[in-house]
Chain A
Amino acid sequence: MEFLQPATWHEALEARAEHPEARPIFGGTDVMVELNFDRDRPGALLDLTRVPELSEWGEEDGMVRIGAGVSYARIIEEVGGRLPALAMASRTVGSPQIRNRGTVGGNLGTSSPAGDSLPPLYAAGAEVEVCSVRGVRRVSVEEFVRGPKRNALAGDELISAVVVPVARGPEQFSKIGTRNAMVIAVCSLAVSLDVERRKVRACIGSAGPTPIRAREAEGFIEGVLDEEGLWESRGEIGEETLGRFAELVREAARPIDDVRSTAEYRRHAVGVLARRELVWVWQEYRGGEAR
């Protein structure tokens, strides 16, 4: 095995092009488990922790660009005000030790349907910035994640950043697990209100081969909010509407039975989360000015 440790982003891309078999590593919270358990013997490790740009984030024109190496701990602390749902999801990742090392870039690279940061990124309409010696391209996160642990990254490409629009309204993320901490999601859901554009977005996590946007549910609730003039009146959402929204989110899920849960429970739980989170974001909207 080789250990490649580029000091610049350019060197990293060259190393990647020369060693398509190399496994990129940053926080190591996924990669090292595979190595420790002898499940994986890549030809090379490509350590990206020496590339300073990857650990930077910044805001421009209403978008937050988060370097692939920014840890969950830093997202919670530094970016949380701009991206509340991503921060909430980051807070549910592992333990302090894991959040200190793990990165959103790694979550994207692993492309697990249970990746906690993915539903908020889908709900926000985030784009993944990928680079190679051939150039830079941006792919919407929905196109990036292709299936369980499969993504749109070519052999010579690396994830440089994720670009996320700053929240334009209240957001929520909830996760069901078999205990309170240090747990992989049984299922999860992100819900966001875009107050400016009068849009609602909902994305299911860990109840399908990829995270799934609940598009019918989104369209339904947007229709009701418009028809009933609720954006203006800031009135309550009716019981029947909440129930129908939850039902449509539930129907969008494509869960399986596995060691963590039955499909039936996942489907039920996703509906419960949908109803609760819609109430929470709407209460926040009713209670105050839009973000």
Chain B
Amino acid sequence: MRLRLEVNGEVREVEGVWEGESLLYVLRERLGLYGSKNACEQGECGSCSVYLDGVLVCSCLVAAGQAEGREVVTVEGLAEGEGLHPVQEAFVEAGAVQCGFCTPGFVVATHDLLSRNPEPTDAEIREALAGNLCRCTGYEKILDAVHRAAERVRV
């Protein structure tokens, strides 16, 4: 089937989409947006987190056809211009990035958290990021990064 959706502010059209395909597959394999990672394909790891019409979702659990005519924002769409988004900067500075595989999902989920709650407590961060798994960095530096990002976004 044919699909038309807005990705990171740009209308994109794709052809030959299989009806059972996920939005994640469309983003990565058809649109070349490799920021959203494909890991568990069952909504457990959060590494494919994107915004769908402004709502944080696992793109592996969205059927491609459900995104028809909708707006998608991926990690590639968060920064404006050349520089990094403050959330991305905070992750780099805090060393919250090791192998980097989980990072895009964490960045999008953190962005979503801070948009709703600009001064989250540790407990609130843990709850908000409960759907994102990291198998190498550990979570302490990620918590640190979210606090740093919160300070920046406030400024």
Measuring CB to CB, which residues of chain A are less than 8 angstroms from any residue of chain B?
1-3, 5, 25, 27-29, 31-33, 35-37, 41, 44-45, 47, 49, 94-98, 100-101, 180-182
Contact = CB atoms under 8 A, between A and B. Distances in A.
B131 A97 contact: yes
Interface residues of B, number: 30
A45 B63 contact: yes
Chain B CB within 10 A, most for which of A44, A96, A100: A96
A45 B20 contact: yes
Interface stretch (B39-47, B91-99, B140-148): B39-47
The 6 closest A-B pairs by CB, nearest first: A95-B131, A181-B130, A36-B41, A3-B19, A1-B19, A32-B61
A5 B130 contact: no
Interface stretch (B8-16, B50-58, B71-79, B81-89): B50-58
A41 B58 contact: no
Contacts of B57: 97, 100-101
B155 interface: no
A28 B18 contact: no
B142 to A, nearest CB: 15
A95 B112 CA distance: 13
B127 A181 contact: yes
B139 to A, nearest CB: 12
Contacts of A100: 55-57
Contacts of A36: 22, 41-42, 60
Nearest to A183: B130
B68 interface: yes
A2 B127 CA distance: 38
B35 interface: no
A32 B132 CA distance: 18
Chain A CB within 10 A, most for which of B58, B66, B127, B130: B66
A56 to B, nearest CB: 17
Contacts of B68: 5
B41 A28 contact: no
B103 interface: no
